[in-house]
Structure 1
C-alpha cells in the first residue's frame, strides 16, 4: 500500500496500513544513526543492532520487512548472520553493507542469499532507493504508484527516470535527476546546501558547496525555462520546490 505524507512524499506502507519496518545492523554507531535518521524520514519504523546476536534477536521480535546488514560485525560475519536471519524470516530482503571492493566478496554475499549490496562509503539516497526496490519486489508493500513523485504539474518517475512538466518530457543527467528527486520528496521545505550535498553527493563529499548552486541553475534552465518558476532560493537558508503560482 502507498500513501502521501503531510510533506507530500509518497510513502511505502505494509498491506495492513502500518509503516514499513527496517532493521539496520552495523557495529559503527555513526553509521546506524545516520541510516536510521534517513530511513525514519521516509516514514518507516527502524530498529538497529550493533552485532550479530542483536540482529537475530531484533529480527525475531521486530519482524522487519527489510534488513540492512554490515558484512563485518564483532561477534560473527554478515554471512553467518544472514543464515540465522533466513531461518527466522526466510523471505526478508537483505541489503549488505561492505567496505570490501573485491568482486569475490560481493559475489559471496549475493550467493549466500543476500539481495543487494552497497559499498562504503555510500550515498543515503542510494540506500533508500535500493531498499524501496527490494521491499516492493518482496511484496511487503503495494507497487501501484510508489515510484511517481508529483509536485504541481511536474512529475518524476523513480523507476523509469522519466520527468515531465505539463506533459512535456524533460531530459536530465543522473545528478540533476537525483537533485530534483530530493527536492520533490520534500515539497515546500527549504533544504540547505549541506542537506543537499549529504543526500545527492553522499555524506563524505569533499567538494565545495557551490556545486549545489551550479546544479540548481541547471535544473532551473530545464524545469522553469519559459514557465512559472517552481524552484526557489531562500537566501541564507537553501532551496525549495513548490507548485507554480497561477
Structure 2
C-alpha cells in the first residue's frame, strides 16, 4: 500500500513542525504549509489522502480554505485544529465541510486516533459505492451525495449529509445521541454540548419542514429515529 499523504496547514511553525515530525514517525507522508493560500496551492498541485487545517491562518482562514476545497472535493477527510471551542465555532467548522474538530491544546494521540478513523472510512474498499439509501420518497446517492425527497433537491452541508446517512442506514431504529456522537462525530458523547440536537434540527428543517409527513422523530430519553413512512 502507498504511503498515506497528509497536508498540514498551521501558521504556528513550532506546532506544525512538531505535528509533522510525529506524523512522519507514524509512517505518514506529510506536507506542511504555514499560510492558507499557500496551503490551497499545495492542495491543487497534489492529491492528498487527508487534510489537517488550523482555523486562524494568514492569507485565507481555515473555514475559507475548507469551503474552497469542498467545492471540488467532497470526499477527502478534513480535520480542523483550533483554540476556538464554543458551539458556534464547531458548527461553523462542520458547516464549512470539516469531518472532525480538535480543540487546542490536545494530545497527539487524539489526532492520530481521529486520522486513523477517518482514513479507515474513506479508504475502505468495502464501503458501498454506486447505490442509494432510501426511505419512502427520501433518496440519498452515496456517490454524488445528492439528496432528494419527492423528487425535490435537498441541499445539505457535509456534516448534515453524514448525519442523514447514519439515520438512513439505521432507518426505523432508534439511535441514541451517544450512537450518533461516535458514528458521525467520532467522539465520545459529551453531555455538556447540544451540538447533536442542533444538527438534528438542521436536518429536520430541510428534510421534514417543507413536507406534511414527518420522517425524523424524537423518542424522549432514548434518541432519534428516521421512519420509512
1:242 corresponds to: none
Give matches, 1:224-243, under 5 Å.
none
1:67 corresponds to: 51
Distance 2:48 2:125 in 1: 12
Residues 134-175 of structure 1, C-alpha deviations (whole Å, 9 max, x = no match): 1111126789xxxxxxxxxxxxxxxxxxxxxxxxxxxxxxxx
Distance 1:142 1:62 in 2: 25
Whether 1:108 aligns to 2:92 is yes
Whether 1:29 aligns to 2:13 is yes
Q: TM-score, normalised by structure 1?
A: 0.49
Unaligned runs of 5+ in 2: 128-229
- Give the ranges of 4+ consecutive aligned residues of structure 1 lying more than 4 Å apart after TM superposition: 140-143
Residues 20-68 of structure 1, C-alpha deviations (whole Å, 9 max, x = no match): 0000000000111011011101111000111111111111222110000
1:82 corresponds to: 66
Shift in alpha-carbon separation, 1:133–1:84, aligned structure 2, 3 A = same
Distance 1:90 1:30 in 2: 30
The Cα shift of 1:88 comes to 4.1
- Asked if the contact 2:81/2:103 (under 8 Å) is kept, the reply is yes
Unaligned runs of 5+ in 1: 1-16, 144-246
Give the alignment's Cα RMSD to 1 decimal. Answer: 1.7
**After the TM superposition, which of the residue ranges 111-120 and 134-143 deviates more from structure 2?**
134-143
Distance 2:45 2:120 in 1: 22
- Asked if the contact 2:5/2:50 (under 8 Å) is kept, the reply is yes
Instruction: Report the number of matched residues.
Output: 127
SS at match of 2:94: helix
Distance 2:46 2:30 in 1: 9
Distance 2:25 2:126 in 1: 19
Q: TM-score, normalised by structure 2?
A: 0.53
1:120 corresponds to: 104
Distance 1:86 1:61 in 2: 16
Tell me which of 116, 119, 125 is aligned to 1:135: 119
The Cα shift of 1:89 comes to 3.0
Residues 72-123 of structure 1, C-alpha deviations (whole Å, 9 max, x = no match): 1111221110122123433111000010121110111012210001111111
- Asked if the contact 1:96/1:114 (under 8 Å) is kept, the reply is yes
2:36 corresponds to: 52
